[in-house]
Amino acid sequence: MRRVLERLAESPGSAILLVSLVSLTASWINWGFGLVVGVLFDKAIARKVRVDYRLLVTSAYSGFIVWHGGLAGSVPLAIATSGHPFKQIIGIIPTDRTIFAAYNLFIAVPLVNRMMMPKKGEEVFVDPELLVEPEPPEATGTTPAERMETSRVLSCLIGPAGLAFLFQYFAGTGTLTLKIVKNGSSRFICSSLDQKRLLTHNCSDNSAVESFLKSLKAEVVWRRDWHVRRDVEIARFQYINGF
């Protein structure tokens, strides 16, 4: 897939458009997925096309503009779930009016990035040799946990089971809500990724969320005394939507 996408980038302009679209699509699926895919694809394109590297990196990170309106957005999923705390105020808003709405499509961002291309002679290029990826070492598991982590057999067993659950759920007129994302097959499919993160003690993929939670606590929760739980929920909801 990466090689097919790389062939589509034959000029600086097409490279900017393509990196923007890939980053936006990946971030719409999941913010962490978009963070990784955008950077890796950015480096692959920079090794192939001579384009302003500053704008190329900007395009790779522009996917974060839409991530909270995508499949990983907690607010659109929460307000589509029956029994959410603000049902009496706003009701239940299905995902076809938020995540899958026409106005949520990311068309303008790639065009804006393309329009920001610098004039000839003002570009900043990067040496492609600096972006060459070293060959990864061959995985050799020595402990049961490491062998399970790199086992293709285990992945082939878990993946189809999760996909089968998804098919059964949505075929039975199931809708996309916070419950299915949190407790359903998405968590089941990603269990191997969660296990890898816990085993390697690498929390960098969660750093953005932790930073946001610290801001929420410092700017809202810790600034006053709360006597009613409902007041905290409303203040938190207003802060997140205005963040």
Query: How do residues 159-180 score in pLDDT, each as one tens digit?
Result: 888 888 878 877 876 677 766 6
- Sorted by sequence, the CB contacts under 8 Å of residue 162 that are 6+ apart come out as 185, 186, 188, 189
What single-letter DSSP state applies at residue 200? H
Contact, 109 vs 62, CB < 8 A? Answer: yes
Q: Scanning the structure block, which residue is given the tokens 């205005």?
A: 242
| Arithmetic mean of pLDDT, 98-127 | 83
Average pLDDT, the chain: 77
In this prediction, residue 189 carries a pLDDT of 38
Q: pLDDT tens digits for 3-39?
A: 666 677 778 888 899 899 899 889 888 888 888 888 8
**pTM (2 decimals)?**
0.60
pLDDT at residue 55 in the model: 92
The answer to which of 19-23, 123-127, 129-133 has the lowest mean pLDDT is 129-133
186 has a pLDDT exceeding 60:
no
Report for 6-10, 59-63, 198-202: range of highest mean pLDDT: 59-63
Residue with tokens 């957005």: 73
